[in-house]
Amino acid sequence: MNKYLKSFLHRGLIFGGFGPIVTGIVYLILSYTIEDFSLGGVEMFTAIISTYVLAFVHSGASVFNQIESWPIAKSLLCHLSTLYAAYTCCYLMNSWIPFDWRVLLIFTAIFMVVYFAVWLCVFVSIKLTSKKFNSKLS
């Protein structure tokens, strides 16, 4: 099996459980803040499974950034598209956003801005750390 696929699956299995934990915390907070808040069994099951899959994909997708033979643009595009698909499916399945093209457009814009802001912060941080290590080696 491809070493990157193994790494994707391994990371996903390790961190996938955080999705349902976050779901439980969010629903616990909602139950204390909204008077008539209730969920049916199907809604709860869907939320738990979809957030598990979301966390699995999110943690596993970090492998794209470690494929050294790929240019940054290719790994960025694979990572971005994988996360976007996972988040969009999860949000739509749980009715956290309605299936309306205008809402999806707003969601997409916000997702892209946040994604690239985080990516830029990580990229700059790694570049600065690399410069420090290289200067110490010289």
> What is the C-alpha separation between 16 and 58, in angstroms, rounded?
8
User: What tokens were used for 111?
Assistant: 């997702």
Structural domain range at position 128: 101-138
As a whole number, mean pLDDT of residues 25-50 equals 85
Question: Are 76 and 105 members of one domain?
Answer: no
Give the chain's mean pLDDT. Answer: 88
User: Is 92:99 a contact under the CB 8 Å cutoff?
Assistant: yes
Question: Are 89 and 133 members of one domain?
Answer: no
Residue bearing the bigger pLDDT, 99 or 23: 99
Question: Are 88 and 105 members of one domain?
Answer: no
User: How many structural domains is the chain composed of?
Assistant: 2
116 pLDDT more than 90: yes
Question: Are 92 and 105 members of one domain?
Answer: no
Burial 89-100 (b: 16+ CB within 10 A, else e): ebbbeeeeeeee
Which position has the token pair 């955080």? 18
Which position has the token pair 């814009």? 109
Question: Are 78 and 107 members of one domain?
Answer: no
Question: Are 26 and 63 members of one domain?
Answer: yes
The pTM is what?
0.78
Question: Are 71 and 42 members of one domain?
Answer: yes
Residue bearing the bigger pLDDT, 98 or 67: 98
pLDDT on residue 1: 59
Question: Are 55 and 68 members of one domain?
Answer: yes
Question: Are 90 and 108 members of one domain?
Answer: no
Helix ranges (H only) for 16-100 are: 18-33, 41-60, 72-93
21 pLDDT more than 70: yes
